[in-house]
């Protein structure tokens, strides 16, 4: 098998995340092909062979799987937002459960794994959407929606999306049609010119309050001479006149001049109402701002937090640490039955929101600290009796995990939104004397590849194990080890910033930090050659990746 070869074969299973394993005809080697379903017969183009493993791009489904159904969403074939709407929900759940079982098998026995909890809603479950402006094809009409499947530039207008309710559809259509009638251009990600960037819509499930935030560049010269303030006032009036099922409580305008394709708040102006809304979870009220983290499936989040609360168990007269606490949801759910809860979160806006929410719920035994867990944990005077971990998708920094284990608490609960990161961290936790008592999954994202996992860990008694000191500087950390490949660094940068970086740029940043490359690596072809210098924004993004992979401090 070689790069560029066209192959045909049957998908024998789907590994996390979204990796179809294709058994190729007349070949001993399998090929990983994304966006496939177990049982399909497919044609694919081999686009990568690395370390003996082949990856391919799906070209055509030759035969459907016996498991397949007609997807409920008319945008499914084009939109990249959902992956498995062509599978019955029970099959989605079974697939996710199997994937997590296999990933955690070295650390969780069959008896300890308690299966998967379904989402109360399969459709119209999302309380937040970040829509992008663009065009469905080059120089086509204005589109507003999600990135096209397998693409970075083309946008699919998802005005009939099935994972959101009708209010999202009405708001999206209203805003798109308004700006299309004004001939206002979208922000072009390659040229970095244009005005319209994103539309953020948030709607609470329990209170039905709605917040809308239009995100644009500051390049008002693309408004064709129109007055920005007047134009935004006209858009706001149209939104207020929409026949919505929920209540519009705020319309905002955010300016974002970042080169990366991310929603960033450089400046926000209130066009109508408030810059927050309220949601309720498990009897508590939460004030949520446009950029606050909050689980995107409110009803399934209640299921997840009920599981976590049950795993935590009796907490009276105990001090709890809620690490990577976000807006303090878990901390506040546990606070009524604890002596004190201390939350640590790196996003300052989330910490401020957590403090407001604790006051709103009359909780006086919560403390929230803004800072990186790796450093902030050293500033806390109290010692925890129990620790709850709810880290971001990439898991816990290895050195932070060592500090967490040093507290030697009897029990911990780990909530993970990416089972591969959880598996990596469980290896370290197990080496540090912790074992899994029980674990389960909660499906917060029907139709997609994502799944939440909850683990209860307990400290082994000294008579049952040998204490081992772990030197994290020398230990092979698999995913987060010190010799990340260029492809891993590229993937990390793209996922976290939307920026694409080259091997040359990575090499320049590594050289800047004294990481020695092979003698001839990326040298110019002749002495007169001029190599492009890595832009500052990409330098910062690459440095963030190098820190994650423990290559620089």
Distance CA 444, CA 300 (A): 5
Contact 312, 334 (CB under 8 A): yes
Decide if 406 contacts 459 (C-beta within 8 A).
no
Quickly list H helices, 71-131.
89-104
CA distances from 533 to 258, 512, 537, 540 (A): 19, 12, 12, 13
- Pick from 297, 416, 298, 392: nearest CA to 16: 416
Euclidean distance between the first and final Cα of the chain, in Å?
A: 40
Look at residues 455, 541, 528, 472 and name the one whose alpha carbon lies nearest to residue 500: 541
Residue that is written with structure tokens 């806390």 in the block: 380
CA 316/CA 335 separation, integer angstroms: 9
Cβ burial of 219 (10 Å; 0-12, 13-18, 19+) is middle
**Residues 296, 128 contacting (CB under 8 angstroms):** yes
Active-site annotation holder among 82, 417, 441, 534: 417
Among 127, 196, 133, 216, which Cα is nearest to 167's? 127
Backbone angles phi, psi at 244, to 5 degrees: -90, 150
d(CA 373, CA 425): 15
Q: How many separate helices (H) and strands (E) can be counted in the chain?
A: 12, 22
417 is catalytic: yes
Token pair, residue 346, equals 């790196």
Residue 490 φ then ψ, to 5°: -60, -45
**Which residues carry out catalysis?**
417
């Amino acid at each position: 098998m070689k790069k560029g070869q066209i192959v045909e074969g049957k998908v024998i299973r789907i590994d996390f995340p979204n990796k179809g394993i294709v058994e190729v005809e007349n070949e001993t080697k399998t090929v990983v092909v994304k966006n496939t379903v177990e049982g399909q017969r497919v044609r694919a183009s081999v686009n990568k062979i690395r370390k003996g493993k082949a990856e391919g791009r799906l070209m055509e489904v030759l035969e459907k799987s016996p498991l397949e159904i007609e997807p409920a969403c008319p945008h499914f074939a084009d939109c990249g937002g959902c992956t498995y709407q062509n599978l019955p929900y029970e099959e989605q759940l079974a697939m996710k459960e199997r994937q997590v079982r296999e990933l955690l098998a070295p650390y969780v026995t069959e008896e300890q794994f308690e299966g998967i909890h379904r989402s109360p809603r399969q459709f119209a479950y999302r309380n937040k959407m970040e829509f992008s402006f663009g065009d469905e094809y080059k120089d086509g009409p204005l589109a507003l929606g999600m990135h096209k499947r397998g693409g970075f530039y083309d946008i699919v207008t998802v005005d009939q999306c099935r994972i959101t309710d009708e209010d999202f559809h009405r708001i999206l259509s209203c805003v798109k049609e308004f700006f299309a009638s004004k001939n206002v251009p979208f922000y072009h990600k390659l040229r970095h010119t244009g005005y319209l960037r994103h539309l953020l819509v948030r709607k609470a499930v329990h209170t039905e309050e709605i917040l809308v935030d239009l995100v644009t560049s500051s390049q008002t010269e693309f408004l064709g001479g129109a007055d920005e303030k007047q134009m935004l006032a006209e858009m706001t009036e149209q939104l207020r006149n929409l026949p919505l099922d929920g209540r519009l409580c705020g319309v905002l305008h955010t300016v974002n001049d970042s080169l990366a394709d991310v929603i960033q708040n450089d400046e926000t102006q209130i066009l109508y109402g408030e810059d927050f809304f309220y949601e309720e979870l498990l009897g508590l009220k939460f004030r949520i701002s446009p950029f606050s983290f909050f689980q995107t499936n409110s009803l399934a989040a209640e299921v997840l937090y009920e599981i976590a609360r049950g795993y935590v168990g009796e907490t009276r007269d105990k001090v709890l640490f809620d690490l990577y606490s976000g807006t303090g949801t878990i901390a506040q759910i546990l606070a009524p039955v604890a002596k004190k809860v201390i939350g640590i979160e790196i996003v300052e806006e989330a910490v401020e929101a957590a403090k407001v929410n604790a006051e709103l719920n009359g909780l006086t035994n919560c403390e929230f600290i803004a800072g990186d867990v790796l450093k902030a944990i050293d500033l806390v005077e109290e010692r925890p009796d129990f620790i709850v971990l709810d880290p971001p998708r990439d898991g816990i920094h290895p050195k932070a995990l060592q500090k967490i284990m040093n507290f030697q608490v009897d029990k911990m609960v780990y909530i993970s939104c990416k089972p591969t990161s959880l598996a990596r961290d469980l290896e370290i936790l197990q080496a540090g004397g912790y074992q899994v008592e029980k674990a389960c999954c909660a499906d917060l994202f029907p139709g997609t590849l994502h799944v939440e996992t909850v683990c209860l860990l307990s400290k082994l008694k000294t008579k049952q194990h040998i204490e081992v000191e772990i030197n994290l500087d020398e230990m092979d950390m698999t995913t987060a080890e010190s010799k990340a490949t260029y492809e891993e660094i590229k993937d990390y940068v793209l996922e976290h910033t939307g920026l694409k970086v080259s091997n040359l740029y990575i090499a320049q940043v590594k050289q800047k930090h004294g990481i020695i490359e092979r003698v001839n690596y990326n040298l110019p072809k002749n002495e007169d050659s001029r190599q492009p210098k890595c832009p500052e924004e990409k330098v910062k993004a690459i440095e963030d990746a190098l820190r994650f992979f423990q290559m620089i401090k």
